[in-house]
Structures are given as structure tokens and as C-alpha cells.
Chains A and B, each alone.
Chain A
Amino acid sequence: MKSGIRNKAIYALLASMLCAASASAQVGYERILNAADEPENWLTYNGGYSSQRYSQLDQITPQNVGELELKWMLQNQVFGAWQSNPIIVDGVMYVTERPNSVMAVDAVTGRVFWKYRHVPAENARVCCGANNRGVAVLGDKVYMGTLDARLVALDRINGEPLWNVEVGDVNLAYSVTMAPLVVKDKVIVGVGGGEFGIRGYVAAYDANTGAEVWKTYTIPAPGEPNHDSWDADDWQYGGAPVWITGSFDSELNLTYWGVGNPGPDWNAGQRPGDNLYSDSVIALDADSGELKWYFQFTPNDGYDYDSVQVPILADMVWRGTPSKVMMWANRNGYFYVLDRVTGKFLEGKPYVTVNWSSGLDENGRPIPTPQPEGMPTYPGNQGGTNWYPPSYSPRTGLFYFSAWKDYATIYTAEEAEYEPGRAFLGGGFTVLAPAPGAPTIGIGRTNPINNWTNEVGHASLKAMDPQTGEAVWEYDQFDVSDSGMLTTASDLLFTGGREGYFHAIDARAGGLLWHVNLGGQIVMAPVTYMVDGVQYVAVISGNSLATFALRD
């Protein structure tokens, strides 16, 4: 009897604790909207709706960063580039693994609570690896897009699937590789498949049921504005995928999305016209999906200059005027500042050697200077930069990103015929090599030996001043880098690169403060979070997720 009473008391206590736990575990829209106010968590792909990848945490400083030590590692069980960006909610990390698994991980020890595995359909096709870049969270759910173009909702506490809906037709090579963006009560994703003749779109789903709420194509249909930027039937398989997570301005109620290349990739002559809204940023109403404005970076692109970079939003005094700006280092080699209320072009300058264009006109439209056949085009096919997320620090006022310098490719164009679900490329490219047949840079790095050398191209971390459009400082690497950026309130900048070094850099002056050899390519951005008063920095290198904190 006695023990029965004690048990009852314990159950009551447990029940109240569980209730409390599940209440605190809720991640409502308000929390995500105000993510900057809880820097102990990392609530969206880019750490908040403005995508600045800037954290208020300041326990790790330029003075003590040398005392960072490894706290735990998590080994991937699947080989291939690990591009996933972890989300951290109240001490639990959610990270995806190739092709489409989600893990809930104790953010303090690295031990795994649960793992959910989605097996994509066998005919799923993606151009560049079975990549997945992470999840989104809302309430008690976690959301993942899949290689076979589905959107899956899981119970965030126990990992059980709740619903699983079709986003696109896998038979036509639609896919989802991005982390979804949750806005209010909707989960928003875009589709990949720009190398397979898809017609791109962004679509929003009811976060509770998975029902489609809106769907906005990135290529206008007949009768819609700008449809005449396509010839004949080209619009039906013109690509323009959306494969990187967008940003959101709650005051304007606008979501912003970078749109990828038109198809076929390399034969621009086959699809005359500007090919809107390929290689553009589009502003979509968060509730209706209605297109409010667009800005096209590369009209009639023949170089695969996807504009899938993360739209970085900031409110600043820009050249004397309080402004709501968007900063964008584009794959085409130009750095842009746009007015994100209207989409108006404010500034644009090349940040690497650019020879496909001789400059931008007053509206930001590039003046094309196509190179003769067989001659190298700068920047090359992988671009002056690519999808890896930049950072903007409101403290330094600088925009940081990984650029590829001295990298060029030679393009060939040929007529391509669209066949459903098949590659639709229209030519190809070779990387400009310093000697015939010399090794060159690939899409990823699978060799611990760099036998191509920096002569084929190399990384330059650039700290851009949006006021001038020019770099204040640069930090070069020997190999190229597909690493994103993280900045903190103590003016630290964390980044990686293909060499497997994890670097901490002085965000103001650009000097190296600390680095460690993690041994595998870093093809994502670091994140930071805090549990029980300890600030952690986590980064994925090769097949390992490594998490650091200051020495105890």
C-alpha cells in the first residue's frame, strides 16, 4: 500500500514533468520568428528568417577560441558529401543523413535518440549526388523533403512518420534536396531537377495535414506575365529549380527564393529569351504564393549559374538611407545589393574575374560578352560561389562567403532533345587545366591528395562591405571551398573548406585565430548553440559531425 502511494506520487510527478517537457518542447511560429532572441537554439536552416547565420552567443571569443576542444563526434553511416545543416531545439539536434534519414541527437553527448529512414523510390534521379540539406521544425513536428520529391512529417519526439505527401513527379526527375522553410502554419519547399527538364516551382503545405496550400511555378504559363521570355514550348521543360532554402520578411509577408538554371543547361541558343524566372530571386507572398517581384541575375544563362544562393536579409542604413536590403553573392561572379521591398537593383560589382559579361547596366542587367568557342569562361561552371550559405554580421556590417578564384571552364553547347526524366543538358564543360590532361577540381573532393593544385582554382573567403560592394578583406585557401559561414556576437567567423580544416577567423580583420584538421571536406556551414550554459560549435567534415566547446 505504502509503495502504491509512493508510486502514485511518482507517476503524478512524472506526468507533470512530461507535460511541462512537452509544453516547452513546442516550437511555435513565434519562436521561429524571434529565433535571434534564443541563440541557445538553431531553429531554421540558416538560424532565422533573415538567414544571417549570425548568433548572439559570445562565450567563445577571439581570446579563448584556442581553448576549443572536441566534445563529441557522430559518424555518418553512408558515404558521400554530407551537406546537412543541423537544427537544434532545446538540447536536441536534428540532422539528416544520405539519402533521406533523420536523426534526433543529444546535442551534449552526440548519442542518438532515434533515427527515421525514408527509402526514396528507385527511379529517383538527381544531378549531383543523393544530397539532403536538413530539416525544418514546427510545433511537435519535423519536416524533410526527399530525393523522390516527397515531403515527410515526423513526430519530433519519437521520430514516427505522421504524413508523407507528393511534392513532384519522381518519374520526371523532380526531387527535394533543400531543408524546408516553415512560415506560420505552412511548410514551404522548392524542387530540384534543373538538369532533367523539369518546370520548377515553390509549394506550400499545411503543416498539420500536408495538404497543398499554394504552388507557384518559376516559369510563367501562357497568359501569365513574362511568359514571352520563352519561345514556343521551351517553358514546359525549362528547368528553373529551387533547391536551396529561402528567407522570410514578416513585415512584408514575403518569402524570397533563389531560382536555378534554365534547361538545357549549356545551350542558351536553343531557348531564346530571358527565360524568366530562371537565375532570379523571386519574392512570393507567404500566404498565397503570389509573385510580388523578381530580379533576374543572368538572363538566357548558358553557364549553369543557378541563383540558388541564400537571400541574406538585413535592415541597415545603406548609403545614408535606412533600407531593407538583400545581399547576394551570385554564382555568376557578381555581388549584389537589392531593395527587398521592391526588388530594385541598388549595387552590383564583380567579386572574381568575370568575362562572360563586361558589367551591369543601371538596372543590374549584365552586358553579355560570350567567349569564343573553346575559350575559357570566368567564373567556371561551379561559379564564383554556389549554394553554400553566407553570413552577415550586424556587428561588423560585413557579408562573408566562400568564393572560387581563378577558376574557369570551357563550355560546349549542342542541341538537346527533351525526353521525360532524362538528362537535358545541351552540351558540357571542361575545367580549365594548367596542363593538358592535368587533374582538375571536381564537384566534390574524394582524394586526400590535392594533385590539381591552386592553379585550377582556389577558395577565397571574402568579407564584403555592402555599402561599397567590395571586399574589405580576403582569406585564401589552397583548395576551393564549399563551406558556408557562421558569425557570432564575439566577432568570430567559423568556416571550413574541402581540405578538412575547420577555421576560426577574426570577423573584423580577417586573421586566423584557430584551426583544426578534421580530415574530410566541409561542405556545409557550422552552427552554434548552447546547452546548460555551454556554447557549442558543430560542423560536419567528411563523414563526421564534430562538436566543439571550450575546455572544461
Chain B
Amino acid sequence: MFPMQMNSKTKMPGRTPGALLPFLLLTLALNLNSTLAQEDGDHQYTSEAIAEGLRVYTQQCALCHGPQGDTIDGIDLRRGVFRTATSDDDLREIVTGGAAEGRMPAIVLRDEELSGVIAYIRAGFDPSGIAIKIGDPERGKVLFEGKGECASCHRVNGIGPRTAPDLTSIGAQRTPSSLQMNLLDPPTALLPINRPVRIVTRNEETVVGRRLNEDTYSVQIIDSQERLRSLLKTDIVRYEISDAPSKQPTTLTSEEVADVVGYLLTLRGLQ
């Protein structure tokens, strides 16, 4: 169903996950047995408001701000990055009064529509976000650094390796449900850009790493030695992108997963 495909210009029979796994593992590997307890979070917005917000957002906001809320320079609604606003009242004022010298038009909304769209923004565009169980961050940190072995690949606040994505700001970047899915079902949750790649260059060098960026003629990589490499595709003779999971599903208990998610959500950039 999803359009999975290799790079069009350098199509190679990829899928060599075995050799690539170690440096990308979010190793929370125990037994896959958890059925997560669902419970309502102590959120100030109701799910009804968020659902209403989704409807309003899709109708009135998405054309300019995009489905993820990040298509306008300097604004990322889903992550709570605004140009000027901080409070909900600021957001209200901008929506109803317009902003940016008319580039953001004033939108006429009913009260419940306005509250809904703010709730939807504050919920990180995640109608189900409040249903994800979020545990104790302190315990989660201990699991992250110890039993879970997350820290053996991921860097947080300047400590740890750089080969896997740095998680210092992950709590601001991902929704609770996304973080939970990354632990429980990594093959589904893994973003394509983070898939392990293995490249053989014309001068017979093998580069293993993770993509940072790619275009028609080049690819930018952080390699397993933490070097930034920019390779021209004309210099590449083999280019393999693994679409197999780069980490195993966790077998932490549901309580432990909730704790790790709770910890990850506190990671919102260097304080």
C-alpha cells in the first residue's frame, strides 16, 4: 500500500539489514508481550475539542500551513514553534485578527471552532495523543540509560554516540503515539530517511551510515565513524537502503514503555 521504493537513479537490490543493524538499534529488546494500558491523560483539552480542531484545521488552515503545520517559514504548529505567539490567547488573537502584514488572513471562527483548533495545535496534531499512557520520566531515564540500552546508540544532551538520531529534542518533535510506536513496532515507525544505508564508492570504499539529506545527484550521510560525508551519485557503484527494521521491537513491559515515553517527552532541547 505504501509506495516503498529504492532510489530511482541508483536502484540496487538493497535489504542487507544484518550488517547494518548494530549502529541504529534502539535496543529495548526483551519480549514482545505488551498490550498497553490506555488511559486518559490529565490534559486540559478534551478529545472532542481536538477532533473539532482537526476538522477546522483541515478546512481553514491546512492549505497554507500544510498537513503537518510546518510549511510556513519559521512556524511549526505541530511542535509549538510560532513566530510571535506563546499563550493560547496569542494564538486566538492571530487566528481571528490575522498576522504577518496580511499574509495570514483573519479567520472568522465560532468559539468552539477556535478553541478546537488551538487544542489540536496544542495536542501536537495528534487526535489520539492524550490516550497514550505516559509514565514516570525518572524511571524512564534509568531504563533508557540502563536496561533498555537506548543510550548505547542514541545521544542525549551531548552524551552518547551520534550515529543514531540525536534524541535531545525528540519530545518536541514527536507525538506520544509516535514515540510509543517506535518502541513497539519500529519497522512501521521508522522514518525512511533514518534507514541504514550502505554505499560502495567507485574507489572501493564502503560507507555505512544514515542519510541526513538526499537529492537527485548527491547524498549526505553521517557515517559509522560519525563523519559527515557528501557523496556524488556518479561516484557510487552500489547504494543499498535497508527497508527492513533497524531495531527490534521492545519487550519492556507496558509500564516500562510508558516510563520511557514519559522520559522522551521531557527531552525538548537543551535547557
In contact, B175 and A437 (Cβ under 8 angstroms):
yes
A412 at the interface (CB under 8 A from B): yes
B13 at the interface (CB under 8 A from A): no
| Nearest neighbor of A264 in chain B, beta-carbon distance | B59
Complex interface bits, A125-143 against B, C-beta within 8 A gives 1, otherwise 0: 1011110000000000000
Identify A455's interface contact among B4, B9, B175, CB under 8 A.
Answer: B4
CA distance A428 to B71 in the complex (A): 16
Tell me the smallest distance from the CB of A480 to a CB of chain B, in Å: 11
A53 at the interface (CB under 8 A from B): no
In contact, B181 and A436 (Cβ under 8 angstroms):
yes
CA distance A161 to B212 in the complex (A): 49
In contact, A515 and B4 (Cβ under 8 angstroms):
no
Bin chain B's interface residue count.
35 or more
In contact, B191 and A499 (Cβ under 8 angstroms):
no
CA distance A422 to B108 in the complex (A): 9
A122 at the interface (CB under 8 A from B): yes
Tell me the smallest distance from the CB of B176 to a CB of chain A, in Å: 11
Contact A476 B71, CB 8 Å, known A427-B58, A432-B3, A434-B3:
no
In contact, B216 and A497 (Cβ under 8 angstroms):
yes
Contacts of B59 in A (CB 8 A): 416, 423, 425, 427-428
Contact A435 B192, CB 8 Å, known A122-B102, A406-B5:
yes
**1-42 of chain B: CB within 8 A of chain A:** 1-5, 7-9
Contact A435 B189, CB 8 Å, known A428-B58, A455-B2, A497-B216:
yes
CA distance A479 to B213 in the complex (A): 11
**442-465 of chain A: CB within 8 A of chain B:** 442-444, 446, 448-458, 460
In contact, B71 and A435 (Cβ under 8 angstroms):
no
CA distance A439 to B193 in the complex (A): 10
A430 at the interface (CB under 8 A from B): yes
Partner-binding segment picked from B60-68, B84-92, B149-157, B250-258: B60-68
Identify B58's interface contact among A412, A435, A499, CB under 8 A.
Answer: A412
In contact, B188 and A479 (Cβ under 8 angstroms):
no
| Nearest neighbor of A433 in chain B, beta-carbon distance | B2
Contact A455 B8, CB 8 Å, known A122-B102, A435-B191, A438-B192:
no
Contacts of A412 in B (CB 8 A): 58
| Nearest neighbor of A446 in chain B, beta-carbon distance | B73
**Per DSSP, are chain B's interface residues mostly helix, strand or loop, or mixed?**
loop
Contacts of B1 in A (CB 8 A): 375-376
CA distance A195 to B58 in the complex (A): 13
Contacts of B174 in A (CB 8 A): 437
CA distance A455 to B175 in the complex (A): 22
CA distance A459 to B60 in the complex (A): 28
CA distance A195 to B55 in the complex (A): 16
Contacts of B199 in A (CB 8 A): none
B72 at the interface (CB under 8 A from A): yes
B269 at the interface (CB under 8 A from A): no
Contacts of B190 in A (CB 8 A): 435
Identify A423's interface contact among B8, B60, B215, CB under 8 A.
Answer: B60
B235 at the interface (CB under 8 A from A): no
Complex interface bits, A110-124 against B, C-beta within 8 A gives 1, otherwise 0: 000000000000111
Tell me the smallest distance from the CB of B28 to a CB of chain A, in Å: 18
In contact, B66 and A443 (Cβ under 8 angstroms):
yes
In contact, B7 and A478 (Cβ under 8 angstroms):
yes
Tell me the smallest distance from the CB of B241 to a CB of chain A, in Å: 9
CA distance A412 to B62 in the complex (A): 13
Tell me the smallest distance from the CB of A327 to a CB of chain B, in Å: 25
Contacts of A548 in B (CB 8 A): none
In contact, B66 and A442 (Cβ under 8 angstroms):
yes
Tell me the smallest distance from the CB of A384 to a CB of chain B, in Å: 14
In contact, A408 and B71 (Cβ under 8 angstroms):
no
In contact, A434 and B2 (Cβ under 8 angstroms):
yes
CA distance A446 to B108 in the complex (A): 28
Identify A478's interface contact among B62, B177, B191, B215, CB under 8 A.
Answer: B215
B178 at the interface (CB under 8 A from A): yes
B214 at the interface (CB under 8 A from A): yes
| Nearest neighbor of A449 in chain B, beta-carbon distance | B213
Identify B63's interface contact among A128, A407, A436, A515, CB under 8 A.
Answer: A128
Identify B215's interface contact among A125, A127, A425, A479, CB under 8 A.
Answer: A479
**190-222 of chain B: CB within 8 A of chain A:** 190-193, 211-217
In contact, A454 and B2 (Cβ under 8 angstroms):
no
A501 at the interface (CB under 8 A from B): yes
Contacts of B2 in A (CB 8 A): 432-434, 455
Tell me the smallest distance from the CB of B59 to a CB of chain A, in Å: 5
A477 at the interface (CB under 8 A from B): yes
CA distance A456 to B2 in the complex (A): 9
Tell me the smallest distance from the CB of A234 to a CB of chain B, in Å: 19
In contact, A406 and B67 (Cβ under 8 angstroms):
no
A231 at the interface (CB under 8 A from B): no
B105 at the interface (CB under 8 A from A): yes
CA distance A129 to B105 in the complex (A): 11
Q: Which residues of B contact A (CB under 8 A)?
A: 1-5, 7-9, 55, 58-60, 62-64, 66-68, 70-73, 102-103, 105, 108, 174-175, 177-178, 181, 188-193, 211-217
The 4 closest A-B pairs by CB, nearest first: A428-B58, A476-B8, A406-B3, A442-B71
Taking A129-B64, A436-B181 as known contacts, 12 extra A-B pairs with beta carbons closer than 8 A to each other, sorted by chain A number, are A124-B102, A130-B103, A423-B59, A431-B67, A434-B2, A437-B175, A442-B67, A451-B191, A453-B214, A460-B8, A479-B215, A497-B216
21 contacts between A and B (CB under 8 A): A124-B102, A128-B63, A130-B103, A406-B5, A408-B3, A423-B59, A423-B60, A435-B188, A435-B192, A444-B71, A449-B212, A450-B193, A450-B215, A451-B193, A453-B192, A453-B211, A454-B5, A476-B8, A477-B216, A479-B216, A499-B215
